[in-house]
Amino acid sequence: MLVSEIESVIEQLKANPLGGTLEEMRAQFDGMASPVAADVDVKAIDAAGVPCELHTPPGADTSRIIMYVHGGGYVIGSLSSHRAVVAELARASGCQALAVDYRLAPEHVYPAAVDDSICAYLWLLSNGYNADKIVIAGDSAGGGLTIGTLLALREGKHPLPAAGVCISPWTDLEATGETYQSRKDIDPMVSYELIEPMGKMYIGTGDIKSHTASPIHADLTGLPPLLIQVGSAETLYSDSETLTKNGKAAGVEVTLEEWQDMIHVWHLFFPQLTDGRKAISRIGEYVKEKTGG
């Protein structure tokens, strides 16, 4: 791991902290995005009313697919903010990826994001993709939404996907974990002060401990295998730690990977970060393993 690379990313983030009005934060977050690789075909898709994008890298096995739900605290983030990283995850996995443009809060509160995610997954099933060839993946809020979607699918008695991949997942809307305080000075991406109000915006008048909103409170029994990647310098580290513990206690096959010195969703900085590219590659290996690639 080249420390100078992550230090450079941290300096950039500290020089341009996320802030302002919600609209300004949305524009700023989208503006941080890397350009998508020219050789990946990106096609707009209407998945039963949910806007999505289908990513097809060169040589993709079109029988296998990642369904990706982006991060951004349920209030920012878009297809634009994550287009490049989704394209590279598809490339690393040798398959397609469907990026889901779920509705954001506060315009659309919980469970809108969960409903849209379920809708996109059922659209995949109805369009020829087999459940055992699908992996649901997401980062930050999208990591929590990945688990929330799996729980809702389980309860709806729908066929479950081959696996779930959670990148720096946010699974506790109340942000009660110990590392929100103990690591607050080393992660420039997320702070308690930033994320706790986002949880309130997303939940609206609902129960903030609802298991599909805060999966930290869920019984995870029966979920498919999970890969969790988290950086050692993350304020959200506790969320991954507790999710792993709860999953294993429920008999779920959970693989927790701690990436030394990495900050929240370091994958987004893959063009300049060796460990970002390595983490994406590792997810690719996992997706191939679980979907028979």
Assess contact for 209 and 176: CB atoms under 8 A: no
Q: Which residue has the tokens 């287009």?
A: 83
**How many residues can be counted in the chain?**
293
Measured N-to-C along each axis, helices 79-93 and 274-291 cross at an angle, to the nearest 10 degrees, of 60
Phi and psi angles of residue 25, each rounded to the nearest 5 degrees, phi first: -65, -40
- Helices (H), ranges, the chain: 3-15, 22-31, 79-93, 112-126, 141-155, 179-182, 192-203, 237-249, 274-291
What is the spatial distance between Cα 24 and Cα 133, in angstroms, rounded to a whole number?
38
Q: For this structure, is 140 an active site residue?
A: yes
Structure tokens at 243: 């999710």
Q: Residue 62, Cβ neighbours under 10 Å: how many?
A: 12
**Catalytic pick from 81, 140, 168, 240?**
140
Q: For this structure, is 155 an active site residue?
A: no
Q: For this structure, is 264 an active site residue?
A: yes
**Catalytic pick from 55, 70, 82, 264?**
264
**Catalytic pick from 70, 80, 88, 234?**
234
Catalytic positions: 140, 234, 264
